[in-house]
Amino acid sequence: MSTGINEAAAADFGLAIVNPQHLYDPTPNGYSTVVITPAASRLAYISGQGGQDARGELSADFATQVRQAYANLSTALSAIGAEPRHVAKLTVFVVDHDMSKLAVLTSNVKELFGEALPAQTLVPVPKLAIDPMLFEVEAIVALPN
């Protein structure tokens, strides 16, 4: 019986991705059910990244904010010597979430992470820290020693 562990992903970057057979397959929506970090890793926590550019400017467009937030996450990962393949868990916050926003989120996650999809939780919220913010993403990263 298969456990649903993505063996190629586990061998490639040290995170074991598990999508159990008897649970809904979340990969079409851009996440995995379980991600196991290696015992010899250090954890890093990346604060919520919004859609602000380097000048602090924020587009009013949801898709633009999402794209920029994931670019900001990539920059934060690079700053600590990590890559998207080291991300174990994402938490995303979406203002006034509806199903039309899910396609935007999924395409951005799949573009950044490919098939090595981290565990992820989406939290619909009425408002974020700054009024024009529509999206924020935070990450837990397993850094190799």
Instruction: Encode pLDDT of 71-130 as tens digits.
Output: 999 999 999 999 999 999 999 999 999 999 999 999 999 999 999 999 999 999 999 999
Tell me, what amino acid is at 102? L
pLDDT of 41-88, one tens digit each? 899 999 999 999 999 999 999 999 999 999 999 999 999 999 999 999
Beta bridge partners of 89: 119, 140
- pLDDT tens per residue across span 8-21: 444 445 789 999 99
Residue closest to 119 by CA, chosen among 35, 6, 11: 35
Q: Is the pTM of this model over 0.95?
A: no
CA 54, 58, 64, 67 dihedral sign is positive
pLDDT of residue 144: 83
Q: How far apart are CA 134 and CA 65, in angstroms?
A: 7
Asked if residues 107 and 29 have their Cβ atoms less than 8 Å apart, the reply is no
Average the pLDDT over 20-33 and give the result: 92
H or E stretch at 103: helix 99-113
